[in-house]
Amino acid sequence: MINSEPVVYSGMYTSYTREQLIDLVKKKMSKKRFEHVLRVEKTAIQLAREYAADVEKASIAALLHDVAKEQSEAEMRDIVISENLNLDLLQFGSQIWHAPVGSILAEREYGISDDEILEAIKYHTIAAPEMSLIAQIIFVADYIEPGRTHEAAKEARKLASYSLRDAVRFEITQTIKYLVEKEERIYPSAIDAYNAWIERKMS
C-alpha cells in the first residue's frame, strides 16, 4: 500500500516548511491557478511514492512549477534576457516562457538550489531529451491532475498508473499533435524531446 502520510520538509532543499511555501505561492497567483498547483502537488506526491522518487523534491517542484505563470510577458521577457536564457524563446509564445523563468524565480526568490527541482520546473511544459525522475513526475502530474478532464489526460492517467515513461512519451506526442493541428510553431527543444523519447521506445 502506498504511504499517504503528510509530507514534512527536512530542510535539505528549502528553508521553508511546506505550509510556509504554500502560503508564499498562494500570494503569487489567482485562486484558480493556486488550486491547480495544489492538485499537481497531490498528484506528484502520489507518483513519487509509486515510483520510489524523493517525495519532498516532488512536492517542492510541484508547488513552484507555475510560480511565474501569471507574471506579465514584459517581466518574463526581461528575465529571459537578463538571465541569459535561450533568446530563441522570445520567438515563440509566452506560454512556454513561464517554465524556464519559473526555474530562475525558484532559485532567486525561494532559495532553491537543487538541480533536480530546478530542472523539473524548467522542463514541465516542453520536456527534454533527458529528464530526471522528478522532472518526469512533474511533467506528467501537471498533465493528469484531476482538474484535467480531456480525453488525452484520461489516457495519460491510465498510462501513469503502470509506466511513467509511457505517460511522458504519450504526453509529448499529444502536445506535438495539438500544435501541428493548430498549425502553430513548435519550439525546437520540444521536437528534440519528442525524437529522443520516441527513439527510446524503439530501442
- Report the 10 Å Cβ neighbour count for 11: 10
**CB of 50 closer than 8 Å to CB of 2:** yes
- Report the 10 Å Cβ neighbour count for 103: 26
Render each residue's pLDDT in the chain as its tens digit; 203 residues. 456 678 999 999 999 999 999 999 999 999 999 999 999 999 999 999 999 999 999 999 999 999 999 999 999 999 999 999 989 999 887 889 999 999 999 999 999 999 999 999 999 999 999 999 999 999 999 999 999 999 999 999 999 999 999 999 999 999 999 999 999 999 999 999 999 999 988 76
Provide the strand spans (E) within the chain.
none
Q: How far apart are the first and last CA of the chain?
A: 33
Q: How far is residue 178's CA from residue 137's CA, in Å, rounded to a whole number? A: 21
- Phi then psi for residue 113, to 5 deg, are -125, -5
Q: Which domains does the chain have, with CATH numbers?
A: 18-202 (1.10.3210.10)
